[in-house]
Amino acid sequence: MAPVRQVGGRDVFPVGLGCMNITHAYGPPMDEGAAKALLVRALDLGYDFLDTATLYGFGRSEELIGEALRDRRSEYLLASKCVLGFKDGQRTLDARPESIKAACEASLKRLQTDVIDLYYMHRPDPNVPIEDSVGALADLVQEGKIRMIGLSEMGEADLRRAHAVHPIAAMQSEYSLWVRNPEIAILQACQELGVALVAFSPVGRGFLADPPVDPAKFHASDLRGSIFPRFSPKNYAGNLPLLDVARECAGDVGCSVAQLALAWTLAKGDHVVPIPGTTNLQHLEENWRAGQIELSGDIVARLDAHFLPEKAVGPRYNTMGQSVVTTEMYPFEQTQ
């Protein structure tokens, strides 16, 4: 029997599916027929935790899930996000209670469902107390429109403030060998509070693959070429040597580098659930199989020591991207 993890008391397979890049962020959206086929294949493989957001494809990711999977709604935990939204084709940030409730109604329609299992605040809104926003989400729980509340890209202080208003089921944070910021505080805080840590970009946005992505081939619309400085030509060249030990460890384990990266996140706690995204059916299956890989303590320790946070070349986000999150930073990052 496959191992399971828990999100808000609900069992899920250890590896979920992020549904951002089928429509958004890493170049042009997928062909819609291919995107729907990938979603169906994910459920056929056994994926049972799908993560999307209002912002992804300006609602199109949600629509594709609704169109492709509405007849299989009982087979998976459905997560989406509010606060980061869109209006007239432009990104918006709005965590006012009335805006959260309106966003939920719109997402329910796009997803073709009557309840969202896990509904996140996609980002903190500096203009709205988090208690007010979580209060609105708690109202949606009472109304039966969502089952669980999540947060994304927030630090320990925000988590504790939110959790005091209503139990938080999940905190979504970027976490990988290349981005270890959750280890500052949020990994332990989640464990203490019984909150799942949902690790996005656990394969480093394609860096932790073999071969890794090539920034020279990024499409003009690929955000990795603009808001993620580690992918700039100079920084990326400085990061590539990190992969040597990852390849050696993957060879010792008998898996791919991407599978090693996923298995490493799983080794960081039973409450950690990585959600790699992909547009490739082969990678979809490869990521799925990573959920059954258990790394030895020696391999984890070797990777920990090699991928020290200060070895990553370049900041995680550019100034704009960093300004809208409250995740903890290492002291050296604050001077980059």
Catalytic residues: 56
**Are 207 and 179 spatial neighbours (Cβ–Cβ below 8 Å)?**
no
Alpha-carbon distances, residue 174 vs 1, 49, 126, 182 (angstroms) = 29, 17, 20, 8
Distance between CA atoms of residues 185 and 201, nearest Å: 19
Residues ≥6 apart with Cβ < 8 Å to 327 = 153, 154, 155, 173, 174, 181, 182, 186
Which residue in 2, 3, 1, 4 sits closest to 196, CA to CA? 4
Token code pair at residue 109: 């329609």
Q: What single-letter DSSP state applies at residue 208?
A: S
Distance between CA atoms of residues 181 and 287, nearest Å: 23
